[in-house]
Amino acid sequence: MSACGGRSSTAMPSIAAHGGYKTQYAPGALPGVTAEYTLLTSNATPRGLVQRSDGSILFAEEYGHAIGTITPQGAVVETPIAAFPAETALDSSGNLWFTQPLLEQYVTKLQPSGQATLYTIPAVGQAPPFPTGIAAQPAPSTSVWFTNPGTDTIGSIDAGGNISTFAAPGTPTGIAVGSDNALYFTETNGDAIGRMDFSGNLTNQYAVPTKNNLPGGITAGPGGSVWFTENGCLVKGPTDCVYGKIGLLASSAVTEFDAQSDPVSIALGDDGNLWFTACFANKIGRITPAGTVTLYPVPTPNSQPFDITKGPNRTMWFSERAAGKIGVLSY
């Protein structure tokens, strides 16, 4: 275990809000995609969406070097930052945290005031760090936890800025907090789901039946369950997505369902169903707790929907990495 402090940067500059170039679709039969917001930043490659307590949606623009906000009124603010922000999490004090896998060794905390603190993640032996997924520990803690697939570790940053790392096998990638107040993470090259407590103890590993199918996104589900995606397509290519699966971990057993697509990110909706992105299929998927899958098309062709999060008023918000848009599915 190692510990070190962070270093601060100046507050970020800002640019004016704009209308988001919103394309509104007739609701028709719900569920369905009802709106898309075209981003102002060129090559934005949005990802890492999260809902703030006021109902606004925050997102990262990895190649656009910005943090974006869509207000409940539909205004879009894209704020430049000297970073490659990727996956995001909000801690219990309202700070936005994001990983920077393109810069390999950084995790950043962004306060509501705009003050940014950059944390340098240590290497483990000869292996360089590569922080990827991130999740916030529930209140009253303000600690965050992140995966480090490059070093086979899970890391944490506490309220004092101290960084700790804990051994975690199988190339940990996605991470989420379960209803039992423990961390669950996907072992992308380990064909398993790992469980770790908030002391950094690896308490269990649950084998995934389908091998070499790249478990990736993960979320807490209803009734104490954990759901995750398996997307071998991201390596095999868009023409070989027949093995995409959605996994369910419940009562210490893993069940898999045919995703009928190439699932990437997954999140729980207010309806008790799980919603996921299908990148190459250009669709948003819904899977019920019983395992029934339905796919909904994204209007913009080849948009590559990537990350997804629950929004207010029975909506799911998702990033369109190739199109530079944020989409809204209503249900």
Mean pLDDT of 35-40: 95
197-236, pLDDT tens digit by residue?
999 999 999 999 999 899 999 999 999 999 999 987 655 5
Q: For residue 238, name the pLDDT band (cuts at 50, 70, 90).
A: low
Rounded to an integer, what distance in angstroms lies between the CA atom of residue 255 and that of residue 19? 43
Q: For residue 127, name the pLDDT band (cuts at 50, 70, 90).
A: confident
Element of type H or E holding 235: helix 233-236
Q: For residue 288, name the pLDDT band (cuts at 50, 70, 90).
A: very high
CA 27 from centroid of its chain's CA atoms: 27
How high is the pLDDT of residue 16? 53
If you search the block for the tokens 């719900």, which residue do you land on? Answer: 30
> Does the pLDDT of residue 83 top 50, yes or no?
yes
Point out the least confidently predicted range of 15-29, 115-129, 192-206, 263-277: 15-29
For the entire predicted model, the pTM comes to 0.92
Task: Name, in order, each residue with C-beta under 8 angstroms of 318's C-beta and a sequence gap of 6 or more.
Answer: 49, 265, 277, 284, 305, 306, 307, 308, 309, 326, 327, 328, 329
